[in-house]
A and B are shown apart, each in its own frame.
Chain A
Amino acid sequence: MPLAQTATTVPVTVDQALCIADKGCTVCVDVCPLDVLRIAETDAGKTAYMKYDECWYCMPCEADCPTGAVTVNLPYLLK
């Protein structure tokens, strides 16, 4: 039973211009109760992103981000 690649839109967005993950910050990843955020390494440097669509839209990531880079939107299914 191979797995499908079904697309899903994620509620948490990170403004790469503001994110300072490549300067060593991991605040949002650390505080998420569901542990759904990770740091991605791209050509443009490191940035936080939502890896797993398992969000309680609870907001510690947004509230604790030191640069205001994180925005918690409502998951599409319930907004």
Chain B
Amino acid sequence: MNGVFEGFDDIADLAEGLDDPEPGARIMAVIELTDSADPAALPHLARAIRDPDAGVRLLAAQGLTDFDGPETAEALVGALLDDDQKVRLAAATSLTELKDPEAGTPLIPLLTAPAEFVQVACLNGLKELRRTDALGPAIEALESGSPAVRCAAVGVIGWLQDEAALPALIRAAADTDPAVRRAAVAAFGFSGSDYAEKALIAALRDDDWQVRESAAETLAKSGSPGCAGPLMGALEDDFWQVRLKAVRSLGKLGMRGAAMRIGPMMNMPIPNLRKECAAVLGELAVAESVVFLADHENDSDPDVRKNVRWALERIARGAA
């Protein structure tokens, strides 16, 4: 049936279009090669990503997301230094779509490349591949002068979930750049160690509110009873966003001793915060905290009222 179905044409025939003098025709050839999703198209796309026309190169860089493995990775890293910014960005994005751990092989040596953009792209590409041999170079990349590189390196390290990397993450949590600190703090979530907890507690006093917010949130994943005190300290943070995460984490960790500290926060003006406090008071279900909730059965915010009602019911049932 000609014309009814999308074709499964011979790859060599499709590739002939790449020799057409018209860029438009070469673009259409790249699209058809990409759409084939046939591994045989890969070498042709690796050629098209070096086409004289930027539009062709762009589509080839985008199209390579449909392929995987070391050859794909190699073609893409070649485009990371393209003259055209769009092509460079497309190649970097396509690198993050790799799934085959083997595809990481051409990326690892480039973690020490001179160009910051190449380093970041390769680190981002390696992250999801979770290659254990990327850990060493990623830790080394933490020494880079570029915050973007250090941030991407934290990504690789965090995904590997290796306790051996904790000292490096702790250094990253003291980085001069807040984005790096924020990423490092969130990366402690996998580890239940004292080491990680100490770093998270220290981060509750970071200068940057988003780092503090991240620390308060992450403590719920790895925290021990020892973090109750510092989390309660975070209830006094200047930023309501940090206070909110601290409340949520105290609830998740079942820190019943925090209920009487959370209770007075029901009078704070931010409804999001009152809503979270009411929910957590319900989760903790400490009978004495009813006094803080009772006033808010008629709170001006319906979400707060709902959580208050729910919390009061739970406390009345004696649930905990």
Which A residues are within 8 Å of any B CB, using their own CB? 20-27, 66-67
Contacts and interface: CB of A to CB of B under 8 A. Distances in A.
Given A20-B55, A66-B55, A67-B55, A27 B31 contact: yes
User: Which 9 pairs of residues, A with B, have the shortest CB-CB distance?
Assistant: A23-B24, A24-B24, A25-B24, A23-B22, A66-B55, A20-B24, A24-B25, A67-B55, A66-B27
Nearest to B57: A66
Contacts of B25: 23-24
Nearest to B30: A66
A20 B23 contact: yes
Contacts of B56: 66
Interface in B265-295: none
Interface in B90-117: none
A70 to B, nearest CB: 13
A27 B28 CA distance: 8
Interface of B: 20, 22-25, 27-28, 31, 55-56, 58-59
9 contacts: A20-B55, A23-B23, A23-B24, A23-B27, A24-B20, A24-B25, A25-B28, A66-B55, A66-B56
Given A23-B25, A24-B20, A66-B58, 17 more contacts: A20-B24, A20-B27, A21-B24, A22-B24, A24-B22, A24-B25, A24-B27, A24-B28, A25-B24, A25-B27, A25-B28, A26-B28, A27-B31, A66-B55, A66-B56, A66-B59, A67-B55
Contacts of B22: 20, 23-24
A39 B24 CA distance: 13
Nearest to A19: B24
B62 to A, nearest CB: 9
A24 B32 CA distance: 13
Nearest to A65: B55
A27 B34 CA distance: 13
Nearest to B28: A24
B34 to A, nearest CB: 12
Nearest to A68: B86
Contacts of B55: 20, 66-67
B123 to A, nearest CB: 26
Contacts of A21: 24
A21 B55 CA distance: 13
A27 B31 CA distance: 9
A21 B28 CA distance: 11
A6 B31 CA distance: 38
Contacts of A67: 55
A23 B29 CA distance: 12
A50 B24 CA distance: 19
